Amino acid sequence: MDVQLKKQAINFLTAKQYLIPGNPIDLQTLAYILLQIGSVATRGQKQLADGIRAVTFLLANASAQKIADEVSEMVKNQIQEHIENFTSGVENM
């Protein structure tokens, strides 16, 4: 199968049972799929398997960093609201 579009990629990975239909396709899922493919590739070229593993770990790291950044931003926004309310209260006194 010649995969050139997102839909084709999803269909391919679903047909090979790497994806479960209806489940989200996020960075963690893609990293897990690459690990599965990497384990199959170890029977072939070692360099290919090592490259797949390297990309997998970078994807997982990027996913964790994205989540950490989103949580930090949410906390920052929540704190900022409280600081503004506190500052306003102090000014009113």
pLDDT averages per 10-residue partition of the chain, 93 residues? 80 86 84 81 70 75 85 90 85 83
pLDDT of residue 51: 67
Which of 73, 53, 55, 52 is closest to 63 using CA atoms? 55
Look at the pTM and tell me if it is higher than 0.85: no
pLDDT of residue 47: 66
Please compute, for residue 8, the number of CA atoms within 13 A of its CA located in the half-sphere on the CB side.
Answer: 5
pLDDT of residue 73: 92
- 14 neighbors 8 (Cβ within 8 angstroms): no
